Structure 1
Amino acid sequence: MHVNHLPGAPAASSIEFDTFLSVDIRIGTVVEAVPFPEARKPALKLTIDFGPTIGRKRSSAQITEHYTPETLLGRQVAAVVNFPPRQIGKFMSEVLTVGFADEAGAVVLFKPDRPVPDGSRLF
């Protein structure tokens, strides 16, 4: 299934509220960010701390247009934490870091406008 991420794409079809709730999106703080040169598309390997309940999880994120490892350390990001892990080369990505496309289609990360506790769930 291909999803059009660019601005101006039509809205997705309607879903039930329970379907939305089945996607577990949490806030975590980036505690490690390193280049991922082995990835087919430019990416970074992130370690994100989601607090004591979920713990630290790893994510491969194609976010190199707007972010460097140094700018991500200590930043809160949102991620889907209940997708199955996905093998990307030799790296196991455990969560899907989420963002929005800018005008050119590059990812702009989602973050709350004020700090919230790591592990907080989007609702």
Structure 2
Amino acid sequence: MSERAGPSAEISFDDFMRVDIRIGTIVSAEPFPEARKPAFKLVIDFGPEIGQKKSSAQITVRHSLDELVGRQVMAVVNFPPRQIGPVRSEVLTLGFPDEAGHVVLAAPSHPVPNGARLF
């Protein structure tokens, strides 16, 4: 998908509600040298109902490891897991491309409880 593409086709509200986007706090972040494209391995805490989930995130240009732990991020939690090299990525961490196409994480402007759902 091109980061400058026009809007997608119209969907129903029910379609939107099937995508489960939650907030979680990164509890660990480490390099992922085995990934084809530069990435970090993240463990994100989505609260007691969902628990901690792993994610591979291509965020190495705009984010550093030392700034990630403790940061809240948004992720899709109901996609099937994907095997990315030796890591089973359980959630899709969300972000937007900057002017150069590097990913900037999507996050709330104020802290919210882990596991809160986007609506």
TM-score bin, normalised by smaller chain = over 0.9
What value does the CA root-mean-square deviation take over the aligned residues? Answer: 0.6
Q: Distance in 2 between matches of 1:92 and 1:43?
A: 13
**What is the aligned partner in structure 1 of residue 107 from structure 2?**
111
**What is the aligned partner in structure 2 of residue 28 from structure 1?**
24
**What is the aligned partner in structure 1 of residue 72 from structure 2?**
76
**What is the aligned partner in structure 1 of residue 96 from structure 2?**
100
**What is the aligned partner in structure 1 of residue 63 from structure 2?**
67
Q: Distance in 1 between matches of 2:113 and 2:104?
A: 21
3-state SS in 1 of match to 2:49: helix
Q: Distance in 1 between matches of 2:53 and 2:19?
A: 17
Deviation at 1:34, TM superposition (A): 0.1
Q: TM-score, normalised by structure 2?
A: 0.98
Q: Distance in 1 between matches of 2:7 and 2:100?
A: 19
Q: Distance in 1 between matches of 2:86 and 2:70?
A: 25
Residue 77 of structure 1 aligns to which amino acid in structure 2?
V
3-state SS in 2 of match to 1:54: coil
Q: Which runs of 5+ in 1 are unaligned?
A: none
Whether 1:49 and 2:45 are equivalent positions in the alignment is: yes
Q: Distance in 1 between matches of 2:53 and 2:114?
A: 12
**How many residues of Structure 1 are paired with residues of Structure 2 in the alignment?**
119
Q: TM-score, normalised by structure 1?
A: 0.95
Percent identity at matched positions? 65
Q: Which runs of 5+ in 2 are unaligned?
A: none
3-state SS in 2 of match to 1:71: helix
Deviation at 1:9, TM superposition (A): 2.0
CA deviations on 1:21-72 (whole Å, 9 max, x unpaired) are 0000000000000000000000000000000000000000000011111110
Deviating beyond 3 angstroms after TM superposition, the runs of 4 or more aligned structure 1 residues are none
3-state SS in 1 of match to 2:48: helix
**What is the aligned partner in structure 2 of residue 18 from structure 1?**
14
